[in-house]
Amino acid sequence: MATASSNTYRVPPRTSSLNPPLSPGITPARQAQLSSSSYSHHTEDPLIFEIGSRLLRAGFAGESAPRCVLEWSNEVFWCREGIVWTGGASNRDEDGRGELWRGDLRSVELGVVEDVVERGVRMAYNKYLLLDSKLKRVMIVTPPLLSTPVLTALLKSLFVHFQMPGIMLLSAPTMATLSAGTRSALVLDLGWEESTATAIYELRPVGQPRRTRRAGRLLRDFWRDLLTTSTTSTPKTPKLPNTTIDDIISRLAWCRKHNHPPIPTADDTTPIALPLPLPLPLPTGTTHLPFSALADPTEKCFFAPTTVPSSSPDHPDDDDLPLPRLVYEALRAAPVDVRAACMQRIVIVGGASQVLGLKRRVVDEVRLLVEREGWCRVGGRQSGVPPPVPPKAEEEEQVQEREKEVSYEWRVEDRGGALSPGSPRGGLEKGLQQQPAGTPRVRGLESMGAWVGASLVAGMKGRGTVELEREKFLQAVAGGGTGLPVGY
């Protein structure tokens, strides 16, 4: 992978001749051959695009980061000659926070999606990439469970407006697994509209991804409730814009540990000032909140039994599962060999995964679910090991100490050698020694994201799972089809 220093450009030194200086031992003919070969290699490398409902990432193959990250909320994408598109109103938030699409396609105009994608990709080409779109093949990283009409609209916009010769489609969970340095993992993608858990085995998805509505949008709604209900607002108080709430979440959101004491009540007198120059007058008390209250939205959004009023909160709807339960159900539904490989590599990606302490909390609670319930499926034969016996009262302290030693960040491969108790990870290795040989554990694994994984695949001359040619795709769409292979 290219390092960060390879992304910067340096101005070459001035020379007295129009021709660049030759390296020692290289003839002019050899220099011309090297230049032509490097140029052809550069033109063969595809571009990497990651198109989400709120962001567009674009860059070159083989690099460690995208060249640009554009937000669809940019007013330039939604205006034409200074006039806001009336058709874009259904695709946007109430304060103008743009979303390229939503889960409910009844409120999405696909024609507007095509136009906005065309404007965003054109800005990426003209301002950041500085290339001719007709000479480059493109790899597109698609999110899991992306609807077919939206994907067809995206591909149609790229083929029609940019004359791309071909497009390769890559799965975001598979690319996130590859950028984590492994071939098998359980990828939990915390998106904007939904969160998905996908089992990846040998770089291939296994089964259907499981989803829940607990994602970035719901987290923002809980933060809005916190900022409005904890104040003495008046009817004339203006509503907080979504841009301000997103800024507050990125600065102040955090997550408790699973063995944290109960949530403090309102009499907690540890205030914290919001370090934001808010652009509008706020009601009295808005700029100060108890520090413990800053974790409440994350608790309610991702870990509460249910987020809607229910007569049976212990049995939530399948689309309202907490994140630990979602990961556990995805692991339990996977085959035994796939589960053994994935439970040791839980990869958490997505915008909402940046909340402080969220990754460790999810992995710790999944570990507790496995210890308490095992892998016994309801109504079927038992799969895997039986549920362990609950620890005795005198063993609870030892269990808590072992859970404190294990965090999300650690990842150690046991290659059969003896583990050194005196190493910097002595507490971790002590916990590993307490497990029987060959027993898989629930562990987390850091990933650099789906875009970096696609950059690795393109740099290694890898091929996508689906490759689309321009002429065949447009002919299929003109005939009333989707242009995608059967079963995709």
Model confidence band, residue 41 (pLDDT cutoffs 50, 70, 90): very low
Answer whether 33-171+450-478 and 178-212+318-410+426-433 agree in fold.
Answer: yes
Nearest to 132, CA basis, from 155, 164, 169:
164
Can you identify the CATH homologous superfamily of domain 178-212+318-410+426-433?
ATPase, nucleotide binding domain (3.30.420.40)
* pLDDT reported for residue 309: 76
Q: How far is CA 121 from the centre of its chain?
A: 21
Distance, in Å, from the CA atom of 106 to the CA atom of 109, rounded to the nearest integer, reads 8
Distance, in Å, from the CA atom of 392 to the CA atom of 402, rounded to the nearest integer, reads 15
Residue 253 structure tokens: 């959101």
**Per residue, what are the HEC states of 67-98?**
CEEEECCCHHHHEECCEECHHHHHHECCCCCE
Record: fold of 33-171+450-478: Nucleotidyltransferase; domain 5 (3.30.420)
For residues 393-411, give the mean pLDDT: 51
Could you give the C-alpha distances from 284 to 232, 236, 287, 340, in angstroms and in order?
6, 13, 8, 54
Nearest to 141, CA basis, from 445, 350, 446:
350
Of residues 6 and 356, more confidently modeled: 356
Domain ranges (residues) in the chain: 33-171+450-478, 178-212+318-410+426-433, 216-303
Distance, in Å, from the CA atom of 330 to the CA atom of 471, rounded to the nearest integer, reads 39
* pLDDT reported for residue 9: 36
pLDDT by residue (tens digit) across 197-237? 999 999 999 989 999 999 999 999 999 999 887 654 455 55
Q: What are the residues facing 48 on neighbouring strands?
A: 59, 139
For residues 345-357, give the mean pLDDT: 94
For residues 269-291, give the mean pLDDT: 51
Distance, in Å, from the CA atom of 83 to the CA atom of 234, rounded to the nearest integer, reads 34
Q: Which percentage of the chain shows pLDDT scores above 70?
A: 65
Distance, in Å, from the CA atom of 134 to the CA atom of 458, rounded to the nearest integer, reads 18
- Tell me the range of 269-278, 385-394, 429-438 where mean pLDDT is highest: 385-394
* pLDDT reported for residue 74: 83
Please give the model's pTM, rounded to 2 decimal places: 0.75
| Residue 31 predicted with pLDDT over 70 | no
Of residues 431 and 105, more confidently modeled: 105
**CA 464-470-476 angle, 5° bins:** 100
Of residues 107 and 437, more confidently modeled: 107
Count how many residues are written for the chain: 488
For residues 325-349, give the mean pLDDT: 95
pLDDT by residue (tens digit) across 84-113? 554 444 444 554 447 888 888 887 888 888
For residues 310-322, give the mean pLDDT: 78
